[in-house]
Amino acid sequence: TAEFQRKLVLLRYLNGNYTNYMQERTRFHKLDFSLEILNTSREDRQLYEYIVSKGPEEEVWQIQLEVYEPVSNPSINILSWAVANGSCTVTLNCTAERGDNVSYSWDSRDAGSSGPCTHKGSLLHLSYPLQNASIACTCTASNPISSWVVAFNSSECNYEQGGTSPGPLQHPSPALALQGTFFQA
């Protein structure tokens, strides 16, 4: 018994002419031979093939297309705080409501200096001496296509000070965006 595979052909190019079989979904750019997928959706996340025929031989490239939702502006929540032995101990949680494959990192607000704020992950356990009047940390929520930064400032060790969100330092792309990984067969 023979098994057949069906493949949907999006575009065929031959001798300088092309046929776009999915004009409502794709746009071919002849200048750089790129194919643009219009109104990208999660269903477009799949394996694509690019085939070049040269007489009896074919060159085949496989392209795994990934579709990501951009990261939304994150927020910082204080999960716990305590004063003990002359130190303030705070547990912060940085979260973004939307976004695919989001990673979180914490850093000091003063670029280039490491310190109690440097950490990978959404939770930050922060401990600093009470005589240190203020502490400023930033949380970055990012994925392969977007990134947002939010700041935490505390001038006292109390629950009311909390995190502040001055707004994004970098704007993400609107709607869905793409990232492709290329494999040559």
d(C-alpha 106, C-alpha 72), whole Å: 17
- Residue 111, judged by CB atoms within 10 A of its CB (0-12, 13-18, 19+), counts as exposed
Q: What local confidence, expressed as pLDDT, does residue 142 receive?
A: 96
**pLDDT cut 70: percent of the chain above it:** 79
Low-confidence ranges of the chain (pLDDT < 50): 159-185
For residue 69, give the amino acid letter. E
Instruction: Work out the angle at residue 116's Cα, subtended by the Cα atoms of residues 84 and 162, and round it to the nearest 5 degrees.
Output: 65
Domains of the chain: 8-64 (no CATH), 74-154 (2.60.40.10)
pLDDT tens for 111-154 read 555 678 899 999 999 888 877 657 888 999 999 999 999 998 87
In order of 105, 125, 134, 146, 168, the CA distances from 149 in angstroms are 10, 18, 19, 11, 6
Instruction: Work out the angle at residue 80's Cα, subtended by the Cα atoms of residues 75 and 81, and round it to the nearest 5 degrees.
Output: 110
Q: What local confidence, expressed as pLDDT, does residue 103 receive?
A: 97
- Residue 17, judged by CB atoms within 10 A of its CB (0-12, 13-18, 19+), counts as exposed
Which tokens in the block code for residue 63? 């392209």
Chain position carrying tokens 């000091």: 108
d(C-alpha 49, C-alpha 54), whole Å: 16
